[in-house]
Amino acid sequence: MKKIAISFSFLLFSAAAVTAADDPIAVRQALMQANAASAGAASAMLKGEMDYNPVVAKAAIATFHSTAEAMGDFFPEGSNVGETRAAPAIWENPDAFRETLAKFRTDAAAAVEASGRDGPADLEAFRLAVMPVLSNCSACHENFRLEDD
C-alpha cells in the first residue's frame, strides 16, 4: 500500500513536470487534481467513511506539501487567459496571493513534520495535522478561484 501511494504521488508530479514549460494552466490543474484526490481521501478518513490508514494519510499530506511548494511557480503573467478557474485577484493582488501560498506552505510543512516517518499515529493525530492544511484550500478557493458557471 505504501509503495502504491508513493508511486501515485510521484506519477502525478511527474506528469506535471513534463508539461510545466509549455502549459502552466495544465500544471495548475494537475496539481489541483492531486490535491482534490488527497482531500477526498483525507475527508473520507476524517468522516469515518474509510478506515484510517497512516500510509494514505502520509501520502495525502505529502501531496499537499508538494503542491504547496510548487504551486506559486505556475501563475506567470498571461496565464490568466484560457481554460482556467484562476481568479483575476491572483494578478490584481499578487501580495495577498503570495501570503496565502506562504501560509499553505507553512501549514503543509508542519503537517509533514507532525506526521513523522510512518504517518500520523492515529486519526486524531491526522486530524490535528491536516485540518490547518485543508483550511488553506478553502481560503484560497474563496479568494482566488472562479466558481463553475
Annotated binding-site residue? 140: yes
Annotated binding-site residue? 104: no
Convert the pLDDT of each residue in 77-121 to its tens digit: 999 998 999 999 999 999 999 999 999 999 999 999 999 999 999
Annotated binding-site residue? 65: no
- Whole-model pTM: value is 0.84
Q: Quote the CA–CA distance of 2 and 8 in Å, as a whole number.
A: 10
**Domains along the chain with CATH numbers:** 2-72+84-144 (1.20.120.10)
- Split at pLDDT 50, 70, 90, the class of 40 is very high
Q: Please give the residue that has the higher pLDDT: either 6 or 60.
A: 60
pLDDT of 69: 96
pLDDT of 8: 54
Whether the per-residue pLDDT at 3 is higher than 90: the answer is no
